[in-house]
Amino acid sequence: MGLYAALSLTTGNLSFMKLEGCYTAIVTPFTADGTSVDLRRLGQQIQYQIAGGVRGIVPCGTTGESPTLTEMEHASVVEAAVAHARGSGVQVIAGAGSNSTAHAVHLHRLVRSLGADAALQVVPYYNKPSQEGLYRHFMAVADSADLAVVLYNIPGRSGVPLLPETIERLAAHSNIVAVKEASGSIDSASEIRRRCSITILSGDDSLTLAFASVGARGVVSVVSNIVPDRVQKLCTATLSNDFDCARRVHEELLPLARGLLSIDTNPAPVKAAMELLGRDSGALRLPMCRLSNEAMNRVSALLAAAQLRVSPVAAGVRA
């Protein structure tokens, strides 16, 4: 399928789409100089996720450095994700958001044409719209194509929250099937569940268990770039109401989940971790930049505490 295949492709009956479990917000691997997307390495990373048993992958999100991708790169990453996931049972929720409604509609139709199962639509950032403006924005996107929409509420980056009452209004649209709730607020997740039946996915690894206790069905995870099997195990336990097991896995994951993202802004720490594990070049694009040696040592210590073996070659390069 070409990068700009005809927009007449269909995605099937959205009413039967089930979103639950671990969805990895996958990094975008670049060549060592950061000038190009490394599609070969991306394919390896997707296969690692499939082997880890995750329910889906989320290319071109915040963790995928989408603001620094050209549209051609964005399309190539989504196309590669769809190609590698095809036949594996792994869903692809492609980042397609923008703070311009017209551009979000364009990207929404683009990822549909590339075969994505759903689009992740972030709250418009920087321009700080009202709740009515947010409602109209997401409705315009949802009306533009027969493709499932996952709302992305992340006020720490967008500047404004998508309030539960607005989510309730949006959930009436048949194409709007889920929300990635990255507000960090259990109260917000609880209020969303009280108001409507939209699927809630935690947007924070450290809150996956807490959100599950009020009805969330999984997580869009950063840490699963490193340990997909463990994050999926946590989700499987919560979905089967085995909260004793879920609590044990949560406690194992918590130092890594909280520690990595306390070192620097995502995705710099997770790319550093993957570099140390021999699974990524570690390259980022400005304005994101590589961690200092001191920060790399902190990442290495977190990996060791999680019983993950650092690549001797990578450790030697950063010594």
Q: In sequence order, what DSSP letters do the residues of 186-211 get, joined into one string? A: HHHHHHHHHH---EEEES-GGGHHHH
Residue 277 CA neighbour count, 13 Å, CB half: 22
> Which residues make beta-bridge pairs with 181?
153, 202
Per the annotation, the verdict on 152 as an active-site residue is yes
E-strand ranges in 108-198 read 118-122, 148-153, 176-181
Confidence of residue 315 (pLDDT cuts 50, 70, 90): low
CA dihedral 27, 31, 36, 38 (to 10 degrees): -60
Is 180 one of the annotated active-site residues of the chain? yes
Would you say the pTM of this structure is higher than 0.85?
Answer: yes
Q: Considering 48, 135, 152, 233, which one is annotated as catalytic?
A: 152
What does the pLDDT read at residue 13? Answer: 44
| Cα–Cα nearest to 104, from 77, 64, 63, 133 | 133
- What pLDDT does 1 receive? 33
Active-site pick, 23, 48, 180, 271:
180
Residue 259 has pLDDT above 60, yes or no: yes
pLDDT confidence of residue 7: 37
- Domains in the chain, please, with CATH? 18-240 (3.20.20.70)
